[in-house]
Amino acid sequence: MNRLRHQSARRRRASFAVAIVLPLIMTGCSKSVNTENANDAASESSPKPATLAVDKARAKANHISSQILDMIGITEGQVTQGGAGVSPCDRDPEHLYLLRHPWSVYEVAPEKLKVGFQRLREQLPKNGWKIVDYGPDTSANKNLELTADSENEPFSVDASLHITGSSGKKQPLILVHVVSGCYRAPEGTDLSKEY
């Protein structure tokens, strides 16, 4: 799988859609995953995308996000509501799609967020994930971030710790973005109704 392995986490600074994460809107923080390689999932060098009903793929993405939250291990504060959304894959938007699930943990003391982020870093490899990038981002805040690819499913996760700088002091949080590789919709599925 590892569809996002070759993407540097430093290239993933684009803005989220307005409705994604309320705390990010309030603080001005943003991050998203560039799906350039995910959209190439059906290229000759990659295996063909698995056929999976959109509802099942969405449930899988939400389940993976839940597992990530469990690895972070913070039971207080707030977690962004909402579930995984469907996006078209550029190669064949009528038949191929991917899932994105951005969310955050907030209203938690910065020190606890830091411990939770470190716990995530330690737990990912123990739970079938390979960390492919880890370190401070290139912003003035030097937010700590990591990228990991699932060794069992066509999913990657990006997480970043926002506890420094003006936005981190105003609204400290852990920002998580789970993204899948491309899936093929079953025959007869109208993906335009899913986006």
In a domain, 193, yes or no: no
Closest CA to 72 of 171, 157, 14, 136: 157
| Domain ranges, residue 128 | 20-186
Using pLDDT thresholds of 50, 70 and 90, give the confidence band for residue 45.
low
Dump pLDDT digits (tens) for 179-189.
999 999 999 99
**Residue 54 in tokens:** 């959109």
Beta strands of the chain (E only): which ranges? 78-79, 85-88, 96-106, 129-136, 144-150, 155-162, 173-180, 183-184
Residue 69: the pLDDT is 97
Distances (CA, A) of 156 to 107, 110, 124: 25, 25, 11
Mean pLDDT of the chain, nearest integer: 81
What's the rounded Cα separation, in Å, for the pair 25 and 73? 25
In a domain, 192, yes or no: no
Say if CB 1 and CB 150 are below 8 A apart: yes
Residue 121 is part of a domain; what is its CATH number? 3.30.2030
Which of 2-6, 38-42, 61-65, 108-112 is least confident?
Answer: 2-6
In a domain, 29, yes or no: yes
Using pLDDT thresholds of 50, 70 and 90, give the confidence band for residue 166.
confident
Closest CA to 184 of 59, 9, 48, 85: 48
Dump pLDDT digits (tens) for 76-100.
999 999 999 999 999 999 999 999 9
pTM of the complete model: 0.77
Pairing between β-strand 78-79 and β-strand 173-180 as defined by DSSP bridges: unpaired
What's the rounded Cα separation, in Å, for the pair 115 and 9? 21
Residue 122: the pLDDT is 98
Domain count, the chain: 1
In a domain, 148, yes or no: yes
In a domain, 4, yes or no: no
- Helix residue ranges per DSSP H, 16-109: 22-27, 54-72
Residue 46: the pLDDT is 60
In a domain, 44, yes or no: yes
Dump pLDDT digits (tens) for 113-155.
999 999 999 999 999 999 999 999 999 999 999 999 999 999 9
In a domain, 13, yes or no: no
**133 SS3 class:** strand
In a domain, 88, yes or no: yes
The yes-or-no verdict on residue 35 having pLDDT over 50 is no
Amino acid 26 reads: M
